[in-house]
Amino acid sequence: MFSTKLSVVPAPPPFTAAALLACVLMLSACSSTVKDPTANWSPNKIYAEAREEASSGAYDKAIPLFEKLEGRAAGTPLAQQAQLEKAHAQYKGGEQAQAQATLDRFVKLHPASPAIDYALYLKGLVTFNENLGLFSFLYRQDLSERDQKAAKESFDAFKDLSNRFPDSKYTADARLRMTYIVNSLAQYEVHVARYYYTRGAYISAINRAQTALTDYRDVPVLEDALFILYKSYDALGMAQLRDDTKRVMEKSYPKSEYLTKGFKSVESPWYRFW
């Protein structure tokens, strides 16, 4: 037989009015918590509801449903499908950064997935300006005057798809978009070169025009680059380089109107619809 002497635990101090109010508010918040309507749904039902919301354009409602499905169906092909469709919903909903992050995570976690080609294609689409060709002639603004980083990221994703999955059903379109982007990036250099030329900064104009000619091949805007180079050499009194450039231009573009009419007063769109 033994006995243990228990120490007396002091009573807690009385609540202050502020503490009582905080407890009441906390209990009130807990009691008013909205129940998850999907708690008893099967993964298939969540997927069906998410698809329905996405198809109706309610991407803000579809995205959290796809996220729930990722957790409920973790480790299954359905979870991978949910992740891809969430990325598509984010893309369509204008959440580019979130869509890019979702796709990067998918590619990292599922490198052997049969849907990797689609993931790479969607990565390219996320930063691709798909309205450029249709509306730029109305607003006199093109991709060459916008974010070049996004264009290069889009190109890299399409290039990765093209190299790794040459027979994918998405590759043909990706290659067309790559050509479109290359044209735009070349146009960016020429846009800057002409900007410098019109302001009398001929050395800078020459440098940018040469960059376009060196870095790009078989794009329509190189005709413009050569003419800017020709005019800049002429303005600087560099007769030999001017004449050399003129000969190259005459050989490369025998029907060019630049040498007879000069800069076009109104430039036609450089792009071609595809």
Q: Report how far apart the first and last C-alpha atoms of the chain are (Å, whole number).
A: 95
Residue 140 lies in a domain: no
User: Which one has a higher pLDDT value, 273 or 219?
Assistant: 219
Residue 197: C-alpha distances to residues 113, 207, 247, 258 (Å): 51, 11, 21, 15
Residue 47 lies in a domain: yes
pLDDT tier at 36, thresholds 50, 70, 90? confident
Q: Could you give the residue ranges of the DSSP H alpha helices within the chain?
A: 17-31, 43-55, 59-72, 77-92, 96-109, 116-126, 132-139, 148-164, 171-198, 202-215, 222-235, 239-252, 258-261
Total count of domains within the chain: 1
Mean per-residue pLDDT over the chain, rounded? 81
pLDDT at position 270 is: 37
Residue 90 lies in a domain: yes
The helix or strand, by DSSP H or E, that contains position 103, with its residue range, turns out to be helix 96-109
User: Which one has a higher pLDDT value, 31 or 77?
Assistant: 77
pLDDT at position 117 is: 96
Q: How far is CA 18 from the centre of its chain?
A: 50
pLDDT at position 15 is: 41
Of 26-40, 89-103, 234-248, the one with minimum mean pLDDT is 26-40
pLDDT at position 35 is: 79
Q: Is the model's pLDDT at 54 over the cut of 60?
A: yes
pLDDT at position 30 is: 53
Q: Is the model's pLDDT at 266 over the cut of 70?
A: no
Q: Which two tokens stand for residue 182?
A: 């290359």
Q: Is the model's pLDDT at 74 over the cut of 80?
A: yes
Q: Quick one: average pLDDT of 53-59?
A: 94
Residue 19 lies in a domain: no
Instruction: Spell out the long-range contacts of 157-161 with Cβ–Cβ below 8 A and sequence spacing 24 or more.
Output: 157/120, 157/121, 157/123, 157/124, 157/127, 158/120, 158/121, 158/124, 160/120, 161/117, 161/120, 161/121, 161/124
Residue 88 lies in a domain: yes
pLDDT at position 26 is: 52
Q: Is the model's pLDDT at 175 over the cut of 70?
A: yes
Structural domain harbouring 83: 42-114
Q: Is the model's pLDDT at 87 over the cut of 90?
A: yes
Q: How far apart are CA 257 and CA 125, in angstroms?
A: 36
Residue 34 lies in a domain: no
pLDDT at position 147 is: 62
pLDDT at position 157 is: 95
pLDDT tier at 145, thresholds 50, 70, 90? low
Q: Which residues contact 239 (CB under 8 A, 6 or more apart)?
A: 233
Q: Quick one: average pLDDT of 116-122?
A: 96
Instruction: Spell out the long-range contacts of 232-238 with Cβ–Cβ below 8 A and sequence spacing 24 or more.
Output: 232/197, 232/202, 232/203, 232/205, 232/206, 233/206, 235/197, 235/200, 235/202, 236/202, 236/203
* DSSP 8-state symbol, 131: T
Residue 49 lies in a domain: yes
Residue 231 lies in a domain: no
Of 12-16, 68-72, 147-151, 196-200, the one with minimum mean pLDDT is 12-16
Q: Supply the CATH number for residue 85's domain.
A: 1.25.40.10
Task: Calculate Rg over the CA atoms of the chain.
Answer: 30
